[in-house]
Amino acid sequence: MTLPVLERPNTNNYFLFYGLGEVFDIDKAVLKNCYLDKSKLYHPDFYGDDPQAQNIAVASSSFNNIAYKTLSNDIRRAQYLVELKLSHSEEAIKLPQEFLMDMMELNEIIDETDAESNTLIGAQIEKLKTEVLETIKSNATQALWLETQIAVLKWKYIERLETRMQL
């Protein structure tokens, strides 16, 4: 089997790397096929006789893995799209005061309760995560990037709360 001359991917954009449109709603089966095709193309073991090609394969394989991990996860894909679509000059995003107050209250409850009571708080946190995930999906699907960014920040905040509960 003759291998093609290996070149580095000509983009840093995960969507372009896979030949996909920059949209939230992607076909995950198509994404997986693209990932597997790139995995075969850039597998470093195929280039053991050519150190330069093997170095390109290692770097490209790593890029492929990161791209797939990002695009296959709804939250990561939404955040990635926000990063692509919003300029870095956007003002700092602030979470709504009501949300922050709710999170402060949950933090206080976590501090004051025992493990048994945390089960109830865990259910409340799961409900919040479900609501925020639906908001992320809805906003990202509609290309509402600022709103998506706020929802992703909420998600991260809720995940930190969840981690605190488990400690």
Averages of pLDDT over each 10 residues, the chain, 167 residues: 66 95 96 96 87 90 96 97 80 85 88 74 90 97 95 94 81
pLDDT at 116: 66
In contact, 44 and 57? CB cutoff 8 Å: yes
Buried b (16+ CB within 10 A) or exposed e, 113-149: eeeeeeeebeeebeebbeebbebbbebbeeeebebbb
3-state helix, strand, coil in the chain (%, to 5): 70, 0, 30
pLDDT at 164: 83
Domains and CATH numbers, the chain: 14-72 (1.10.287.110), 97-166 (1.20.1280)
Instruction: Tell me the pTM.
Output: 0.85
Task: State the DSSP string of 50-118.
Answer: -HHHHHHHHHHHHHHHHHHHHHTSHHHHHHHHHHHHS-TTSPPP---HHHHHHHHHHHHHHHH--HHHH
Question: Could you give the CA distance from residue 146 to residue 76 in angstroms, rounded to a whole number?
Answer: 15
pLDDT at 18: 96
pLDDT at 38: 95
